[in-house]
């Protein structure tokens, strides 16, 4: 008599871990610089609709169709392209369909620092050019950071401790950009301090349908992640 031996099959089930970043598409938000226990703290400070703080890799900025524009040419040609070239601009003026992005050092006490805090651009990974600039009283742009001519030590934003400011950000093609920066400053007690690299993500979305697909995709990942943990 033949005996059939049943060998139990062990199926390993591993849970799916999904790190979903929070999209920030509207309202006031800052790239913030703090200082704790002798080290800089670079983060994202969402001021509205609910005040929340994120690490750089916990949220990302959505630059929606309202940012679509054309390069004015002239003094802008070097970093936005020839007149009429398509660009996506996050402006210094608040727009209801775009993030109102600021750069804040309010958490720093000016008396603790010798001079300004430099936020230096170290790398950009994206489908097009990235730039950050201000405009003077005569309408002339003052480029602070830009990738059109490469990245070097001159690509930096000098910020007064305890201050808050807004600058124009430009992107020359739709897609995802990863912008990496580093903060440097001289503390009155601790001396010269340099932060770890911090990478911020910007998603330039040319069509509303693209953004809808992004939201649906994120929702699906979260749905399956929750089911896998049951």
Residue ranges of the domains in the chain?
22-221
Q: Is the model's pLDDT at 64 over the cut of 60? A: yes
Q: Which residue has the higher pLDDT, 102 or 50?
A: 102
What confidence score (pLDDT) does residue 124 get? 98
What confidence score (pLDDT) does residue 215 get? 44
What is the 8-class DSSP label of residue 21? Answer: P
Residue 143 CB neighbours (<10 A):
20
This prediction's pTM? 0.82
Paired strand residues for 182: 120
CB 190 within 8 A of CB 50: no
Q: How confident is the model at residue 19 (pLDDT cuts 50, 70, 90)?
A: low
Q: Is the model's pLDDT at 7 over the cut of 60? A: no
Average pLDDT over all residues of the chain? 86
Q: Which residues contact 13 (CB under 8 A, 6 or more apart)?
A: none
What is the 8-class DSSP label of residue 1? Answer: -
Q: Which two tokens stand for residue 144?
A: 């602070």
Q: What is the distance between the alpha carbons of residues 45 and 48, in angstroms, rounded to a whole number?
A: 9
Q: Is the model's pLDDT at 55 over the cut of 70? A: yes
Per-residue pLDDT tens digits for 196-217: 999 999 999 986 544 444 444 4
Q: Which residue has the higher pLDDT, 228 or 34?
A: 34
CB 101 within 8 A of CB 94: no
């Amino acid at each position: 008599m033949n005996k059939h031996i049943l060998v139990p099959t062990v199926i390993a089930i591993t849970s799916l871990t999904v790190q979903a970043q929070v999209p920030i598409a509207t309202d006031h938000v800052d790239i913030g610089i703090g200082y704790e226990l002798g080290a800089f703290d670079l983060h994202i400070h969402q001021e509205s609709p609910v005040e929340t703080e994120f690490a750089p890799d916990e949220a990302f900025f959505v630059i929606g169709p309202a940012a679509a524009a054309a390069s004015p040419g002239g003094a802008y040609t070097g970093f936005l392209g020839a007149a009429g070239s398509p660009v996506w601009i996050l402006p210094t003026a608040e727009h209801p369909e775009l993030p109102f992005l600021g750069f804040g050092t309010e958490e720093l006490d000016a008396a603790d620092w010798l001079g300004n805090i430099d936020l230096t651009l170290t790398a950009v990974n994206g489908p097009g050019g990235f730039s950050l600039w201000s405009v003077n009283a005569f309408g002339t742009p003052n480029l602070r950071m830009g990738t059109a001519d490469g990245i070097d030590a001159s690509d930096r934003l000098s910020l007064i401790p305890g201050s808050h400011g807004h600058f124009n950000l430009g992107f020359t093609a739709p897609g995802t950009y990863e912008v990496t920066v580093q903060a440097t400053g001289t503390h009155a007690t601790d001396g010269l301090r340099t932060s770890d690299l911090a990478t911020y993500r910007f998603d330039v979305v040319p069509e509303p349908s693209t953004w809808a697909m992004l939201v649906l995709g994120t929702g699906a990942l979260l749905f399956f992640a929750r089911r896998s943990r049951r």
